[in-house]
Amino acid sequence: MPHNHDHNCSHEHEHYHDHDDHDSLSTGAQDNLYQYIDRANVVALNADDNCKGSDAIKPWHERASEDKFIESDADDQLIVRLPFTGSVKLRSLLLKTGPADLTPSKVLLFANEDNLDFQDVVDKKPTQEFNIAQGREVGEYVVKTAKFPNVSSLTLFFPSSQGAETVRIYYIGLLGTWTERKSNPVVTVYEAQANLADHQKIQGTEGNFSTFQS
Question: Which letter does DSSP use for residue 24 in this model?
Answer: H
Record the pTM: 0.74
Say how far apart CA 41 and CA 67 lie, in whole Å.
21
Kindly indicate the confidence band of residue 184, based on its pLDDT and cuts at 50, 70 and 90.
Answer: low
With 50 as the cut, is the pLDDT of residue 77 above it? Answer: yes
Find all residues with CB under 8 Å of 65, minimum gap 6, and list them. Answer: 58, 170, 171
Say how far apart CA 128 and CA 141 lie, in whole Å.
10
Q: Is 12 helix (H, G, I), strand (E, B) or coil?
A: coil
Q: Total structural domains in the chain? A: 1
Say how far apart CA 48 and CA 46 lie, in whole Å.
7
Residue 11 lies in a domain: no
Would you give the end-to-end CA distance of the chain in angstroms?
56
Residue 50 lies in a domain: yes
Q: Count of CB atoms within 10 A of residue 154's CB? A: 25
Res 13: pLDDT: 39
More confident position, 205 or 52 = 52
Query: Which of 100, 97, 104, 16 lies closest to 64 in space, CA to CA?
Result: 97
Residue 143 lies in a domain: yes
Q: What is the DSSP string of 32-58?
A: B-GGGB-GGG-EEETB-TT--GGGG--
List the domain range (segments joined by +) for residue 119: 16-179
As a whole number, mean pLDDT of residues 111-122 equals 94
Query: Which of 31, 47, 124, 104 lies closest to 81 in space, CA to CA?
Result: 47
Find all residues with CB under 8 Å of 186, minimum gap 6, and list them. Answer: none
Residue 186 lies in a domain: no
Q: Report the CATH number that the domain containing residue 106 is assigned in CATH.
A: 2.60.120.470
With 80 as the cut, is the pLDDT of residue 199 above it? Answer: no
Give 119-170 pLDDT, tens digit per residue.
Answer: 999 889 999 999 999 999 999 999 999 999 999 999 999 999 999 999 999 9
